[in-house]
Chain A
């Protein structure tokens, strides 16, 4: 195995005073596709958010590309797709404007040059959204919005993709596009860490699965076989999401 792109050792994290991660070990090697599985509340999202520094870590070590997370500065090598509900601003924005912000990691002083605009267009092409480039993101369906967020992560041409529930609430057609996009990225040597509820259409891509339960690693190895309802062909697991369009202005002083 080659050098790890993500390495977590004995990571503990608390939200409030509740322990959410209780000593997690997780490694993603170069070129590997790792799925992080587990029930709601098992700590999947917290684990991912501790990697990107959004959740403070109480103990343990996290390294990205062999550098301690706190000293890691080369963020253009990392593409991140958050859960869709986190990304809804109070002002309209076009697909291009949102995807362009993913290119900032490579842009000097926030100035986008011609090469940067081309990279943004390529990223939109990859997810099949080039024809919607000038549309407002608020007018998109859930699946299309998810494709935009993935294009935003791809805009910096990252070597490592971290995705939090990319398939949640996404229609089958978009799921197929996402799986194809991911397949291309993996084919070009990208490493991927995915938080998933179930393996679904991504299963053939996944090299290894890490299953969490109550903030501990329960399983680390080949992906588990789906059973029961989840194993049925065409099973379409749709999660409810808060409506993100047409929301009123909120004071949100604390948000």
Chain B
């Protein structure tokens, strides 16, 4: 394993594993809420953070975290108060974020579009030691939230109206979900890049759903897929000299196609088992009962 002899590859692999865990872990709640593309929107907004980081000679990772958290909170607020034109407001936020990033990085003395590209599509060799420290701290936060509050986040993402009646702080949990998604985007930024990060939040979850019937199993399988493809993609990009972000995303989609193909016979077998378990009193064919039952005698 000569690959582990290089310090930059050790850092890249550590970052890749953390991305493989965190992106599906928060992504599952976004998919459950039917906000699958939220991560993509946050990724656009984070570009302004990267640009500002270069302009102010700050750490682009921390600056991107700050700006994308603000952007995610703003998106949540638009969702609460936004009426019919909410989608337009979100579009302005996304594309404003992207334009801001390009503008700031070109104004920065040390910045260029080449720097920006490494953030947009990911780059292993540029993951610095301070990046790894930041990624570890942020990933710990994401894991703490997505596992520690899994029952609360599940309830709010499944049925917001019901969650309110169980006394859960629905707005605070929604905000926390948005902030956690924003933090995950910046964790993944260095490895898969801002434009591809959303794929790692959504596709492993979609792939896991092909096999699972429960939320817990979907969570576990999605994280397993995430870690497998991020390690696989990172190693491949080292040996074949291909961009890591694109490799990881293509591997993820490959996993989805593979699992979908495997799941079709599985679903058929389950349906057969369910049909066999059904009592004989529940015939598959259409038959008219000889006499209608007590359930029909409704009090008038």
- A residues whose Cβ falls under 8 Å from a Cβ of B: 16, 49, 52-54, 73-76, 78-80, 82, 86-87, 89-94, 97-98, 100-102, 104-105, 107, 110, 112, 134-136, 139, 152, 156, 162, 172-173, 175-176, 200-201, 203-204, 226, 231-235, 249-255
Q: Find out whether the CB atom of A97 lies under 8 angstroms from the CB atom of B216.
A: yes
Partner of B165, one of A75, A92, A107, A226: A75
Query: Does residue B33 face the partner (Cβ distance < 8 Å to A)?
Result: yes
Answer whether residue B152 sits at the interface, using C-beta atoms and an 8 A cutoff. Answer: yes
B151 touches A89 (CB 8 A): no
Can you list 7 A-B contacts with CB-CB less than 8 angstroms, sorted by A residue number? Answer: A82-B159, A82-B162, A92-B218, A93-B215, A173-B295, A250-B36, A253-B37
The tally of CB-CB contacts under 8 A between chains A and B is 158
In the bound complex, CA of A52 to CA of B206 (Å): 33
- Which stretch (B2-10, B79-87, B118-126, B187-195) binds chain A? B79-87
A250 to B28, CA, bound (A): 13
Which A residue sits closest to B297, measured CB to CB?
A233
Flag whether B172 is at the interface (Cβ < 8 A).
Answer: no
Chain B residues lying within 8 Å of A94, measured Cβ to Cβ, are 213-215
Are A251 and B166 within 8 A (Cβ)?
A: no
State whether A252 and B300 are in contact (beta carbons under 8 Å apart), knowing that A82-B162, A134-B213 are contacts in the complex: no
Q: Are A110 and B215 in contact (CB under 8 A)?
A: no
Q: A75-B165, A110-B149 are in contact. Are A92 and B212 (CB under 8 A)?
A: yes
> CA A102 – CA B292 in complex, angstroms?
36
Sorting the interface of chain B by its residue count into under 10, 10 to 19, 20 to 34 or 35 or more gives 35 or more
Query: Using Cβ atoms and an 8 Å threshold, which residues of chain A touch B35?
Result: 251-253, 255
Partner of A231, one of B90, B152, B300: B300
Chain A residues, Cβ within 8 Å of B214: 92-94, 97, 134, 136
Q: In the A-B complex, list the 8 residue pairs whose CB atoms are closest, starting with the nearest.
A: A75-B167, A252-B34, A101-B155, A234-B296, A80-B165, A136-B213, A251-B37, A105-B166
Bound CA–CA A92/B32 (angstroms): 8
Which residue of the partner chain, among B36, B209, B297, B299, contacts A92 with CB atoms under 8 Å?
B209
Q: Is B158 an interface residue (CB 8 A)?
A: yes
Contacts of B218 in A (CB 8 A): 91-92
Across the interface, do A52 and B32 meet the contact criterion of CB distance under 8 Å?
no
Is B165's CB under 8 angstroms from A91's CB? no
Is A92 in contact with B213, judged by CB distance below 8 angstroms? yes
Q: Which of B209, B214, B274 has the most CB of A within 10 A?
A: B214
Which of B152, B162, B212, B298 contacts A201, CB < 8 Å? Answer: B298
How distant is the Cα of A136 from the Cα of B218 in the complex, in angstroms? 12
B82's nearest neighbour on chain A, judged by CB, is A254
Residues of A within 8 A of B161 (CB): 49, 52, 54, 80, 82, 86
Q: Tell me if B164 and A52 are in contact (CB < 8 A).
A: yes
* Cross-interface CB contact of B299 among A100, A105, A134, A203, cutoff 8 Å: A203
On whether the beta carbons of B82 and A89 are closer than 8 Å, the reply is no
Q: Give chain B residues whose Cβ lies under 8 Å from the Cβ of A234.
A: 292, 296-298
Quick one: closest B residue to A98, CB to CB? B158
Alpha-carbon gap, A252 to B212, bound state (A): 23
Contacts of B176-221 to chain A: CB distance below 8 A = 202, 205-206, 209, 212-216, 218
Q: How far is the CA of A53 from the CA of B22 in the complex (A)?
A: 33
Question: Among the interface residues B83, B87, B166, B300, which one has the most CB atoms of the partner chain A within 10 A?
Answer: B166
Chain A residues closer than 8 Å to B295, beta-carbon distance = 172-173, 175-176, 201
B75 contacts the other chain (CB 8 A): yes
Minimal beta-carbon separation of B243 from chain A (angstroms): 26
**Distance between A45 CB and nearest chain B CB, rounded to angstroms:** 11
Report B-chain residues with C-beta under 8 Å of the C-beta of A254: 79, 82, 86-87, 90
The closest CB in chain A to the CB of B206 belongs to: A249
A151 to B167, CA, bound (A): 17
Neighbouring A residues of B90 by C-beta, 8 Å = 253-254
Q: How far is the CA of A148 from the CA of B93 in the complex (A)?
A: 40
List the B residue with the shortest CB-CB distance to A171: B295
